[in-house]
């Protein structure tokens, strides 16, 4: 790989997203405090100044409480639901003076793109469109007089502030969007590299066992052609030991939704290095390694339990599979036989 250690994007995709959220909260809290000052000293409205101050304190304090343990998507969905509503509340009284306050809503689609994916760009774009339409319609039929402005210069100051701070928000989002996409591209490139002994389609049980024995040697030889010499060090072996400690010893493989980004975040590493360490140790990719751990646990539970007293569903769900069709497919890929055939063979061995 042509990326040196000191030039590699620091951290996994999930770690970068968490860092972005942290920096966004700090930036937005500062912006809201600044807007509170604009309301109090420039617009001369203490009510909206108090609202902005309360919003800033609540956002910062809440994030300080949950910052060590939160679900990124849940947090983003919650924020992108209530934040535009609060912006809409502010827009109601500004609308008769200027539509520039709608700029508060513009970063929402970009945030959806970074954290949630393409589908949610359209969903949240439609959501902010509805808020803008609602504000316009409400101003047509109702009168909102929380404050009044007679000096045009006050509105110019307010609009300038809104424009500049939203430019800062866009800059932050675009900067991290670039970093996140770069890590994702590097990971995709790595996953497409033709490592020896790591087939995309898992072979039969006998061949798989043979590959398990020979793959590390074959991969090491092939790896020398693909990666610079300085990267062919014991660090991948050491990193894989840490991976095994988390995935196998601490049984994270039992988590149906466990991802390589979560693993990278736990290890304070990045997806690229973890993928290399996994492939360097005989597995085609993270999913292959994770599913191998799950199947080994299934086999262990089958041997330890009386299959007539426990259900197969209990065994495969306890091992990290969400449904039987996925379990059956993965078991056949890795073991070369179906679960029912394996159980029949196991029973025959016990009878003998």
CA distance 86 to 102: 12
**Exposure string over 106-138, b if 16+ CB within 10 A, otherwise e:** ebbbbbbebbbeeebbeebeebbeebbeebeee
Q: Lowest-confidence range among 83-92, 132-141, 176-185?
A: 176-185
Q: Are residues 185 and 306 in the same domain?
A: no
Q: Is residue 129 one of the residues assigned to a domain?
A: yes
Please indicate, yes or no, whether residues 222 and 171 belong to a single structural domain of this protein: no
- 125, 158, 189 — which closes off a domain? 189
Give pLDDT tens digits for 6-21.
334 345 788 889 999 9
Among 189, 221, 236, residue at a domain's last position: 189
Same domain, 175 and 269: no
Q: What is the pLDDT of residue 201?
A: 37
Question: Does 85 lie in the same domain as 221?
Answer: no
Query: Do 217 and 184 reside in the same domain of the chain?
Result: no
In a domain, 194, yes or no: no
Verify that 273 and 170 share a domain, yes or no. Answer: no
Domain ranges, residue 96: 5-189
Residue 110: both structure tokens together: 């970009």
Domain match, 162 and 265 both: no
* Domain presence at residue 36: yes
Task: Say yes or no: 15 and 143 in one domain.
Answer: yes
Q: Are residues 166 and 237 in the same domain?
A: no
pLDDT > 70: percent of the chain = 82
Q: At what angle do helices 72-94 and 118-141 cross, to 10 degrees?
A: 20
Mean per-residue pLDDT for 37-53? 91
Residues 31 and 163 occupy one common structural domain: yes
Which of 43-47, 102-106, 109-113 has the lowest average pLDDT?
43-47
**pLDDT value at position 57?**
96
Categorise residue 8: left if φ over 0, alpha if ψ from -120 to 50, beta otherwise.
beta
Q: Is 155 exposed, middle or buried (0-12, 13-18, 19+ CB in 10 A)?
A: middle
| Counted domains in the chain | 2
pLDDT value of residue 27: 97
Per-residue confidence at 44, pLDDT binned at 50, 70, 90? confident
Looking at the structure, do residues 157 and 210 belong to the same domain, yes or no? no
User: pLDDT of 186-242, one tens digit each?
Assistant: 766 655 554 433 333 333 344 443 444 344 444 444 444 444 444 556 788 889 999
Residue 271 forms part of a structural domain: yes
Contact 283, 289 (CB under 8 A): yes
99 lies in some domain: yes
Task: Examine the domain organization and report whether 42 and 157 are in the same domain.
Answer: yes
Q: Is the residue at 105 inside a domain?
A: yes
The residue with greater pLDDT, 108 or 150, is 108
Write the pLDDT tens digit of every residue in 115-149. Answer: 999 999 999 999 999 999 999 999 999 888 776 77
Is residue 175's pLDDT more than 90? yes
Q: Which of 189, 221, 250 is the last residue of a domain?
A: 189
What is the CATH classification number for the domain harbouring 283? 1.10.10.60
Residue 166 within any structural domain of the chain:
yes
Give residue 59's pLDDT: 95
Alpha-carbon distance values, 321 to 53, 105, 257, 283 (Å): 47, 40, 9, 19
Q: Please report whether residue 195 resides in a domain.
A: no
């Amino acid at each position: 790989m042509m990326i040196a250690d000191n030039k590699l994007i620091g951290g996994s995709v999930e770690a970068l997203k968490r860092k972005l959220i942290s920096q966004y909260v700090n930036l937005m809290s500062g912006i809201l405090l600044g807007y509170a000052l604009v309301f109090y000293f420039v617009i001369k409205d203490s009510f909206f100044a108090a609202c902005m101050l309360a919003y800033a304190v609540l956002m910062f304090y809440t994030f300080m409480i949950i910052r060590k343990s939160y679900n990124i998507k849940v947090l983003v969905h919650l924020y992108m639901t209530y934040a535009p509503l609060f912006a809409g509340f502010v827009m109601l009284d500004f609308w008769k003076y200027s539509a520039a306050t709608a700029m508060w809503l513009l970063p929402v689609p970009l945030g959806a793109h970074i954290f949630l994916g393409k589908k949610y760009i359209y969903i949240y774009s439609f959501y902010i469109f509805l808020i803008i339409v609602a504000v316009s319609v409400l101003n047509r039929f109702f009168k909102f007089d929380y404050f009044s402005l007679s000096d045009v210069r006050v509105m110019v100051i307010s609009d300038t502030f809104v424009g500049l701070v939203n430019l800062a928000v866009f800059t932050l989002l675009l900067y991290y969007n670039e970093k996140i996409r770069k890590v994702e591209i590097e990971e995709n490139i790595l996953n497409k590299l033709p490592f020896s002994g790591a087939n995309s389609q898992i072979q039969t049980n006998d061949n798989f066992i043979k590959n398990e024995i020979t793959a590390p040697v074959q991969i090491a030889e092939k790896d020398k052609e693909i990666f610079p010499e300085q990267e062919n060090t014991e660090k991948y072996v050491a990193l894989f030991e840490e991976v095994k400690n988390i995935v196998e010893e601490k049984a994270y493989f039992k988590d149906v939704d466990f991802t390589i980004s979560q693993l990278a975040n736990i290890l304070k590493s990045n997806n690229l290095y973890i993928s290399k360490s996994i492939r360097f140790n005989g597995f085609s990719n993270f999913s292959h390694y994770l599913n191998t751990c799950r199947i080994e646990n299934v086999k262990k539970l089958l041997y330890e339990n009386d299959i007539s007293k426990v259900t197969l569903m209990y065994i495969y769900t306890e091992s990290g599979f969400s449904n039987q069709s996925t379990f059956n497919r993965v078991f056949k890929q890795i073991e070369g036989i179906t679960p029912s055939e394996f159980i029949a063979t196991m029973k025959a061995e016990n009878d003998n």
